Amino acid sequence: MSALAVVRQLLWKDLLLELRTREILTAMTVFAMLVAVVFNFAFSPSPQDALRLLPGMLWVTLAFASTLGLSRSFVLERDQQCLEALRLFPFDPGLIYAGKLLSNLLALLAVEILLLPALAVIAGVPLLGHIGALAAVLLLGSVGLVAVGTLFSAMSVNTRIREVLLPVLLFPLAAPVLISGVRSTLGILAGRPWADVLPGVRLLVAFDVIFVVVGYLIFEYVVEE
């Protein structure tokens, strides 16, 4: 069976499970909205401030919301030791990582699609003009978050302190994504020329490529016994 077909099948399973209950999506979206509102309480940004603060608020909100979805994604495999069953299949364990990466990515992107307009309205910042560049940066950043997040989620789900361990692992290691994501978003919203934003985008691409590959190769060592 081709690798693509395997990943497609794994993704189908995750989507089917999630679409039936919509637990993860609902939790992530509600949580993201709440965090965004709390930020607004905390900073009470004026219209001038809002433009400066929005990128930070956006990315921190996404970082927190992603931990919710990421931890859930392997918990549902834990229930009946389904991860063992997945490891019994005759394909490379890295494909399990690829399947989970894609389902986590889709979940995060869905939250972003809902969050972005809400944030624009709450913060009073017009985003539509830059939507193309913003979408690109958000996509790159989401891939980065999910690439390391999926790996660490598989690690932390097997520990006593799994709720704490995942964010503690994710945030330092996803720092380049958060830093580059925020700076690039700031640059885009401020209307800076593409050359100013390019270093950040390059960093995001490098991060994505490196850690998707590393994640794929190293995943089998995380799940083996």
Partner 1 sequence: MRAYIPSRGGVWVQALAVRDITKSFGPVRALRGVTLTVARGEALAIFGPNGAGKTTLLKIASTLMRPSSGQVLLFGADPSQAPHLRRLIGMVSHHSYLYPGLTGLENLLFTARLYGCSDAEARAEAMLAAVGLAGRGGDLVRTYSRGMTQRLSIARALVHDPQILLLDEPYTGLDRSSAAAFTELLMAMRGSRTIVLTTHSIEQGVALSDRVAILVDGVVAYEAGNGAGDVRTIERVYAECVGVPA
Partner 2 sequence: MATTLTERRSEAARGADWREILIWAGTALGVAGMYMAILYAPEEATMSHAQRIFYVHVPSAWVGFLAFGVVFAASVGFLWTRRRSFDLAAHASTEIGVVFTTLAIASGAVWGKSAWGTWWTWDPRLTTTFMLWFIYVVSLMVRAYGGSGGQSARFAAVLGIVGFLDIPLIHLSVVWWRSLHPLPVVVSSEGFGSGLPPEMLYALLVNVAAFTLLYVALFSIRRAQMGAQDAIAAQRDDDRRSTFRRGLPGIQEGSR
Residues that bind partner 1 (CB under 8 A): 1, 5-6, 9-10, 12-13, 16-17, 20-21, 76, 79-82, 84-85, 87-92, 224-225
Q: How far is the CB of 158 from partner 1 (least distance, A)?
A: 14
Instruction: Tell me phi and psi for residue 220, to 5 degrees.
Output: -65, -30
Residue in 156, 149, 159, 142 with CA at minimum distance from that of residue 62? 142
Task: Find which of partner 1, partner 2, none residue 117 binds, CB within 5 to 8 Å per kind.
Answer: none
- Going by C-beta distance under 8 Å and a sequence separation of 6 or more, which residues neighbour residue 197? 133, 137, 184, 187, 188
- 10/154 with CB nearer partner 2: 154
User: How far is the C-alpha of 62 from the C-alpha of 32, rounded, in Å?
Assistant: 7
Q: How far is the CB of 80 from partner 1 (least distance, A)?
A: 5
- 118/173 with CB nearer partner 2: 173
- 2/44 with CB nearer partner 1: 2
- 75/206 with CB nearer partner 2: 206
Read off the tokens for 132.
């193309």
Where do contacts with partner 2 occur on this chain (CB under 8 A)? Answer: 148, 151, 155, 158-161, 165, 168-169, 172-173, 175-176, 179-180, 183, 199-200, 203, 206-207, 210-211, 214, 218, 221-222, 224-225
Q: How far is the CB of 119 from partner 1 (least distance, A)?
A: 31
Q: How far is the CB of 156 from partner 2 (least distance, A)?
A: 9
Contact assessment for residue 77 and residue 86, using Cβ atoms and an 8 Å cutoff: yes
Task: Find which of partner 1, partner 2, none residue 173 binds, CB within 5 to 8 Å per kind.
Answer: partner 2
CB atoms within 10 A of CB 48: 8
Length of the chain: 225
- 64/89 with CB nearer partner 1: 89
Q: How far is the CB of 168 from partner 1 (least distance, A)?
A: 24
Contact assessment for residue 208 and residue 139, using Cβ atoms and an 8 Å cutoff: no
Residue in 112, 152, 171, 159 with CA at minimum distance from that of residue 136? 112
Q: Residue 79 carries which DSSP code? A: T
